[in-house]
Amino acid sequence: MTYSSFDPQSATNFYDYPLCSRYASEKMKHIFSPNFKFSTWRKLWVILAESEKELGLDFISEEQIQQLRDNIYNIDFAKAHQYEIELKHDVMAHVHAYGDVAPEARKIIHLGVTSAYVGDNTDLIQMREGLLLVKQRLVTLIATLAKFAQEHKDLPTLGYTHFQAAQLTTVGKRATLWLKSFMFDLEQIEHCLEHLEFRGVKGTTGTAASFKELFGNDYSKVVALDQMVTEKAGFKRRQEVSGQTYDRKQDTFVLQVLAGFASSAHKFTNDFRLLQHLKELEEPFGKKQIGSSAMAYKRNPMRCERISALAKFVLSLEMNGHLVHATQWFERTLDDSANKRLSYPQAFLAVDAILLVLQNIAEGIVVYEKMITRNVMRELPFMATEDIIMDCVKKGMDRQEVHEVIRELSMEQARLVKQEGQENRLIEAIIADGRLPISASEIKDLLNPSNYIGFAPQQVDDYLTNVIQPMLARNQEFILGEQVEFTV
């Protein structure tokens, strides 16, 4: 590329942020948009003026407040940007821009507060709204996976430890393991929402010194103002003491919750991609979707791979919360600002994108039952040997002698399977060997996979009935009815 071809008017000549252009939803992008942010600043200035008037500041008129209300969304972003170039201060730029459209109220905008009043409180409002949307998507995902677990609770499949074939489980029971991780995440999200503390009205260094003058040394009114603004902003809790900013420890809690969910999502994709390799489950695949530019037959698990990639990004962002919190000086320092503008909005956008893809997968999981059964039957003869030993002992044989016979035959069959690529014919070998008093019909009864799944179906029923369904009943309003479209 030569710089002579650079066109500053073309959007294609500038970095295109993928979380916004490719991955996240319109809803989540709106929460962290300039329109949401700066209209929230104005809403906070309105409730500040309302509350100050209610607490006795009679020089604030209803007409001034109404003019502020009427212009909450009348934001001239170009004018605000010009003010910021001149003033080098984002909050004061918007104070001036607000005053231009609400001239009667100009003199009482931002009265008694510092920039953190709108900056920090808006951050908390954005995080609350982001967590609520994440909760909506997660509850919906859990409902979809619960349906999948119920439908496949009886379908035997190989269980794995160390990715080596172990005892059987069921497809539905394995899905409850994914559900359990996501339920932990939901509980943490709900805890975070319940305990998120509003910064409120604290003054320049947290001492409310300016309000001492405004309210004539009446501390009770300062406390009342803090409580009123907190409640009007929709928060149950307020930070009782602060410096200029809310304690950045809260950011660590939010980023931990989002990273925790990302970890669960990544774990899901690990399992799913391994199962897709085994040709047992498959993520949705479009009729015209291309799996590989070279290998036309391929059906790559690109949805799971996208989740994995985004999850790693979210996990990496968790450290930002700790770094910011650990390096705050006394009542505040500004080296948190640029980091916060990047870290938690990006974490929310990435988690939103992950949830969209997870929902798309959950709604369209393809189950290959015959392949699952084939894989089960390849290993089941080995698993059935314990029951064969018990049956032979009941018929009078020495347990150790039976064990040795089966060990010899099993080792030989394992060799033939691994070295010569033969099918597992251990059962046929036991019958042909003739040393054990067990017939072909008796062994056939032992080779029913459903005999080896323990109480998996009952465990699925118990978990869905006692845990998932009560949670869904409590959160009916959070279940989204929209069809999730997979985006490029």
- Beta strand 366-367 with 281-282 is antiparallel
Pick the catalytic residue: 21, 292, 316, 439?
292
Phi, psi of 217 (to 5 degrees): 70, 20
C-alpha 372/C-alpha 374 separation (Å) is: 5
Residue 379 neighbours by CB under 8 Å, 6+ apart: 158, 165, 424
C-alpha 482/C-alpha 473 separation (Å) is: 19
Nearest to 87 by CA among 100, 99, 96: 96
Pick the catalytic residue: 4, 5, 10, 162?
162
Reduce the secondary structure of the chain to three states and give it as a string.
CCHHHCCCCCHHHCCCCHHHHHHCCHHHHHHCCHHHHHHHHHHHHHHHHHHHHHCCCCCCCHHHHHHHHHCCCCCCHHHHHHHHHHHCCHHHHHHHHHHHHCHHHHHHCCCCCCHHHHHHHHHHHHHHHHHHHHHHHHHHHHHHHHHHHHHCCCCEEEEEECCEEEEEEEHHHHHHHHHHHHHHHHHHHHHHHHHCEECCCCCCCCCCHHHHHHCCCCHHHHHHHHHHHHHHCCCCEECCCCCCCCCCHHHHHHHHHHHHHHHHHHHHHHHHHHHHHCCCEECCCCCCCCCCCCCCCCCCCHHHHHHHHHHHHHHHHHHHHHHHHHCCCCCCCHHHHHHHHHHHHHHHHHHHHHHHHHHHHHHCCEECHHHHHHHHHHHHHHHHHHHHHHHHHHCCCCHHHHHHHHHHHHHHHHHHHHHHCCCCCHHHHHHHHCCCCCCHHHHHHHCCHHHHCCCHHHHHHHHHHHHHHHHHHHCHHHCCCCCCCCCC
* 162 annotated active-site: yes
* 96 annotated active-site: no
Phi, psi of 161 (to 5 degrees): -125, 135
* Active site residue ranges: 162, 292
